[in-house]
């Protein structure tokens, strides 16, 4: 049976419309610069409430030692008083695409709905900047966020790290770096359908080849560009991390028609075995990032409701 036959019927038309707009999908565009430009031109912006009252500011902050400064976008609810919980957001894009602007709808929604101070980080992308540029930039932005909590009006003891897909893998890598380097304290970790394993050996990584959202061929390509010929370690590919103890309480969700299904479920089980409080949701019929491609589907609304509930409980 084709993977496409397993997709939630309500979430399929939006995917087909996206593939009609970009025949073959974004991954059929071989030039990465053109692929990024096309992605920016066609991306949807689903989650922002029409009446969101959010102030936004781009800041330039120190990057990793000896490396360029990085940009973060800071979101704060208008008129908010007192320290708020914080959410540090890492965008997706397979380590090769994506930016703060593309994650703006989600960051705005989180800021408005929780409410919280949100800091979204712009990290360097492969293949121009292979590993370890991405996680090091993300970690530097987290350290800056925690160090400037008072200035930002956030409670450093209530700080979550949030990211989807590549951003989910980078969220876990950032948490591992914070644990191992004694950096910023993280209250909660929310990696959504995270990209974790460069080996591409699981059954789901072999099964998802014809969906058109994020299939095996582009995943293999993205890992090769991201690693740049280096051997992956546990920070590059968190599925390889041997010790998961000491990570913050974690929420993971993933769909059954996502090639990351098996590696994400396995990672969640390893977190539980390591003593990390872990919440896992596997949603039937969901393809990779379907809640963004088909935001009006009931399945998509369930994704967002589960996440918001988990964040509110964790950051209360």
pLDDT digit string, tens, across residues 119-146 = 999 999 999 999 999 999 999 999 999 9
Give mean pLDDT, residues 207-212.
93
Does the pLDDT at position 91 exceed 80?
yes
Q: Write the secondary structure of 19-53 as one string of H (helix), E (strand) and C (coil).
A: HHHCCCCHHHCCCHHHHHHHHHHHCCCCCCCCCCC
What are the Cα distances from residue 135, in Å, to 82, 101, 227, 229?
A: 31, 19, 12, 17
Mean pLDDT of 92-96: 96
Domain ranges for the chain, please list them. Answer: 3-315
Supply the pLDDT for residue 157: 97
* CATH number of this structure's domain 3-315, picked from the four choices 1.10.8.60, 3.40.50.300, 3.30.465.10, 3.40.50.1820: 3.40.50.1820
pLDDT at 250 over 80: yes
Residue 307: pLDDT over 80: yes
The yes-or-no verdict on residue 50 having pLDDT over 60 is no
Q: What whole-number distance in Å separates Cα of residue 186 and Cα of residue 154?
A: 13
Closest CA to 93 of 34, 164, 160, 33: 164
- Buried-exposed string 40-59: b where 16+ CB fall within 10 A, e elsewhere: eeebeebbeeeebebeeeee
| Model pLDDT for residues 276-290, shown as the tens digit of each residue | 999 999 999 999 999
- Angle subtended at Cα 107 by Cα 141 and Cα 33, rounded to the nearest 5 degrees: 75
Q: Which residue has the higher pLDDT, 306 or 49?
A: 306
Per-residue pLDDT band for 69 (boundaries 50, 70, 90) equals very high
DSSP code, position 251: E
Contact between 307 and 251 under an 8 Å Cβ cutoff? The reply is: yes
| Mean pLDDT for the stretch of residues 52-72 | 96
Per-residue confidence band for 49, with pLDDT thresholds at 50, 70 and 90: low
pLDDT band at 83, cuts 50/70/90?
very high
Mean predicted confidence (pLDDT) in 156-182:
98
Closest CA to 227 of 200, 189, 193, 255: 200
Active site members: 165, 258, 288
pLDDT in the model for residue 39: 83
> What pLDDT was estimated at residue 269?
98
The mean pLDDT of the chain is 94
In the prediction, which pLDDT does 189 show?
A: 99
Q: Residue 33 pLDDT more than 60?
A: yes
């Amino acid at each position: 049976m084709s993977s496409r036959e397993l997709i939630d019927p309500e979430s399929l038309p939006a995917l087909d419309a996206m593939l009609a707009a970009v025949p073959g999908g974004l991954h059929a565009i071989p030039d990465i610069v053109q692929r990024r430009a096309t992605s920016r031109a066609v991306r949807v912006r689903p989650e922002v409430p029409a009446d969101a009252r959010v102030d936004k500011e781009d800041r330039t902050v120190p990057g990793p030692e000896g490396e360029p400064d990085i940009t973060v976008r800071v979101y704060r609810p208008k008129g908010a008083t007192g320290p708020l919980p914080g959410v540090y957001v890492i965008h997706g894009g397979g380590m090769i695409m994506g930016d703060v602007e593309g994650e703006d709808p989600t960051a705005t929604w989180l800021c408005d709905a929780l409410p919280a101070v949100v800091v979204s980080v712009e990290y360097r992308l492969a293949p121009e900047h292979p590993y370890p540029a991405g996680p090091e930039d993300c970690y530097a932005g987290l350290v800056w966020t925690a160090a400037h909590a008072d200035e930002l009006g956030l409670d450093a003891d209530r700080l979550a790290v949030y990211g989807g897909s590549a951003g989910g893998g980078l969220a876990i890598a950032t948490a591992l770096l914070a644990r191992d380097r004694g950096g910023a304290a993280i209250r909660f970790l929310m990696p959504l359908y995270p990209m974790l394993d460069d080996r591409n050996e699981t059954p789901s990584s072999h099964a998802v080849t014809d969906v058109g959202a994020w299939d095996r061929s582009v995943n293999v390509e993205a890992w090769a560009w991201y690693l740049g010929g280096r051997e992956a370690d546990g920070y590059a590919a968190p599925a390889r991390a041997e010790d998961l103890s000491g990570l913050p309480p974690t929420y993971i969700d993933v769909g059954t028609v996502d090639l990351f299904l098996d590696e994400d479920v396995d990672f969640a089980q390893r977190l539980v075995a390591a003593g990390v409080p872990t919440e896992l949701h596997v949603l039937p019929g969901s393809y990779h990032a379907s809640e963004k491609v088909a935001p009006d589907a009931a399945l998509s609304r369930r994704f967002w409701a589960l996440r918001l509930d988990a964040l509110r409980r964790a950051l209360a």
